[in-house]
Amino acid sequence: MRSLLIGLASVVVALSPTVSALAATDAGVAVYDPWEKANRAFYKFNDGLDRVILRPAALGYKRVLPRPVRASVRNVINNINQPNVLVNDLLQGRVDRGGVSAFRFLINSTLGVAGVFEVAAPLGLPPHDADFGETLGRWGVPPGPFLYVPVFGPSDLRDGAGRIVDGYASILSLPDLHVTTWERIGFSVTDGVDTRLALDSTIEGIKRTATDPYATQRSAYLQYRQAMLTDSNSKKAVDQLPSFDAPPPGAH
Partner 1 sequence: MPSLPQKLFAAALVLAAGGAVSVAPTPFTAPAMAQSSARNAGAEQFVQTQAQRALNILSQHQGDVATEKRLFRAFIDQVADVPRITYFVLGKYSRSIAPGQQHEFAAVFREYASNVYESRLNEYHGETLKVIGSVARSPTDVVVQSQVSGGKLDQPVTVSWRVIAEGGGWRVVDVQVDGVWLAITQQQDFVSTIDNAGGNIQVLIDQLKRQVAKDEQGAR
User: Which residues of the chain form contacts with partner 1 (CB under 8 A)?
Assistant: 25-29, 31, 78, 121, 126-127, 129, 195, 198-199, 201-203, 205-206, 208-212, 214-216, 218-221, 223-228, 232-235, 238-239, 241-247, 250-252
- CA of 189: how far to CAs of 51, 151, 169, 201, 225, in Å? 17, 11, 18, 20, 24
- How far apart (Å, rounded) are the C-alpha atoms in residues 179 and 173? 7
DSSP for 118-173?
Answer: --TGGGT-------HHHHHHHTT----SEEEETTTEEEEHHHHHHHHHHHHHSGGG
Q: Tell the smallest beta-carbon distance from residue 207 to partner 1 (Å).
A: 11
- CB within 8 Å of 39: residues ≥ 6 apart: 33, 146, 147, 148, 214
Residue closer to partner 1 by CB (options 181, 233) is 233
User: By the 8 A CB rule, do 148 and 43 touch?
Assistant: yes
Report the Cα 105 to chain-centroid distance in Å. Answer: 20
The nearer residue to partner 1, 13 or 152, going by C-beta atoms, is: 152
Q: Which is nearer to partner 1, 178 or 208 (CB)?
A: 208
Looking at the chain, how many residues does it have?
Answer: 252
Task: From 108, 156, 159, select the one nearest 130 (Cα to Cα).
Answer: 159
Closer residue to partner 1 (CB): 11 or 215:
215
Shortest Å, Cβ 250 to partner 1: 8
Give the shortest CB-11-to-partner 1 separation in angstroms: 25
Dist. CA 219–CA 221, nearest whole Å:
6
Q: Which is nearer to partner 1, 31 or 171 (CB)?
A: 31
**Nearest approach, Cβ of 127 to partner 1 (angstroms)?**
5
Residue 130: CB minimum distance to partner 1, A: 12
Nearer to partner 1 by Cβ, of 65 and 220: the residue is 220
Q: Please tell me the distance from the alpha carbon of residue 203 to that of residue 209, in angstroms, as a whole number.
A: 10
Between 60 and 242, whose beta carbon lies closer to partner 1? 242
Q: How far is the CB of 198 from partner 1 (least distance, A)?
A: 6
AA identity, residue 232: S
Residue 249 Cβ vs partner 1, minimum distance, rounded to whole Å: 11
